[in-house]
Chains A and B, each alone.
Chain A
Amino acid sequence: MSDPMRIRATLQGDVADVRIIMMHPMETGNRRDAKGTVVPLHFIQSVVVTHNGKPVMDAQWSQAVSRNPRLFLRVKGAKAGERISVTWVDNKGDKRTDEAVIATS
């Protein structure tokens, strides 16, 4: 079970400023929990962002990306009301997709 992302897409001219926050532990596989047990590697490997269904960013990540990761990008040729969709997949195969509508600034 994953928690929803927070996606904010704001129009500045014809550029959508997209700010995505994901809830994910991004475990490096080196950390020990309170009991001293090593927490297994668990991180988002891929993030795909689409604009009105067309892919605009395809990201590949390592475990070096921080916990509860943020991804900011800018998309040219955007209009208010268009859709931004984000999908992540982690190394355990868990996936999540969320969407937002581009808002005027």
Chain B
Amino acid sequence: MKRARRSFLKFAGGVAALATAAAAGLLRTAESWAASWNKAGFESKVPADALKSLGATNAIESRDIVITAPDIAENSALVPVAVTSRIPNTQQISIVAEKNPFPLAATFDMANGAEGYVRTDLKMGQTSDIWAVVKADGKFYVARTEVKITVGGCG
């Protein structure tokens, strides 16, 4: 209980800090998190719908986005993916695993000095292209790379 309470207090402090940025229109307020979680996007079953939810339907292919991921992943539940955007004023990076049941995996909004870079790990259902969708100066760009998933074998 003590731990939970402490977290809550810290969290409350964070909310105050966030409000400034929210006012500047950069980020959502903490209170509105659940509400503004991109439900439509995350529940999309095809990449096109996910892009639509991001407003990225007309994303242009870009060579200034580098996706770092293994060509062959040995563990489909842990596929490391890094996205580096060299596009000036990158403000958002989304990662889409094309053949996942719900392709949109994550969206990262950057502000206040965060560079156009993010790295995390994904679960992938099968061999598939991974898309990085970048928003910069209000425009959308996309790059993709294939990750092969090895399954089966026992042990």
Contact indicator A46/B115 (Cβ below 8 Å)? no
Name, among A45, A48, A51, A63, the residue most crowded by chain B CB atoms within 10 Å (CB to CB).
A48
| CB pair A51 B113 closer than 8 Å | yes
Query: How many contacts A-B (CB < 8 Å)?
Result: 146
Chain B residue contacts of A75, Cβ below 8 A = 112-115
Q: Once the chains are docked, how many angstroms separate the CA of A45 from the CA of B34?
A: 8
Residue pair A53, B17 in contact (C-beta under 8 Å): yes
Q: A15-B115, A59-B106 are in contact. Are A69 and B18 (CB under 8 A)?
A: no
In the complex, the answer to whether B14 meets A61 with C-beta atoms within 8 Å is: no
Cα distance, A69 to B113, chains bound together (Å): 23
- Which segment of B59-67, B118-126, B134-142, B145-153 sits at the interface? B118-126
Q: Nearest residue in A to B33 (C-beta to C-beta)?
A: A46
Q: Which of A51, A65, A78 contacts B105 (CB 8 A)?
A: A65
Question: What class of interface size applies to chain A in its complex with B?
Answer: 35 or more
Interface residues of A in 55-105 (CB under 8 A from B): 55-67, 69-78, 85, 87, 89, 93, 95-99
- Complex contact A60–B17 (CB within 8 A): no
A32 is an interface residue with CB less than 8 A from chain B = no
Report yes or no: B97 in contact with A64, Cβ–Cβ below 8 A.
Answer: yes
Flag if A64 contacts B34 (CB, 8 Å): no
With an 8 A cutoff between CB atoms, is A1 at the interface?
yes
Q: Which residue of B4, B14, B18, B117 contacts A74 across the interface (Cβ within 8 Å)? A: B117
Provide the residues of chain B in CB contact with A78, threshold 8 Å.
113
Contact B121 A73 (CB under 8 A): no
Distance in Å: Cβ of B83 to nearest Cβ of chain A: 11
Contact of A62 with B106 at beta-carbon distance under 8 Å, contacts A72-B118, A72-B119, A97-B11 already known: yes
7 cross-chain CB contacts under 8 A: A57-B111, A60-B107, A65-B121, A65-B123, A73-B114, A95-B7, A96-B11
Using a CB–CB cutoff of 8 Å, the interface residues on chain B facing chain A are: 3-4, 7-8, 10-11, 14, 17-18, 20-21, 26-28, 30, 33-34, 37-38, 42, 77-79, 82, 97, 100, 102, 104-115, 117-124
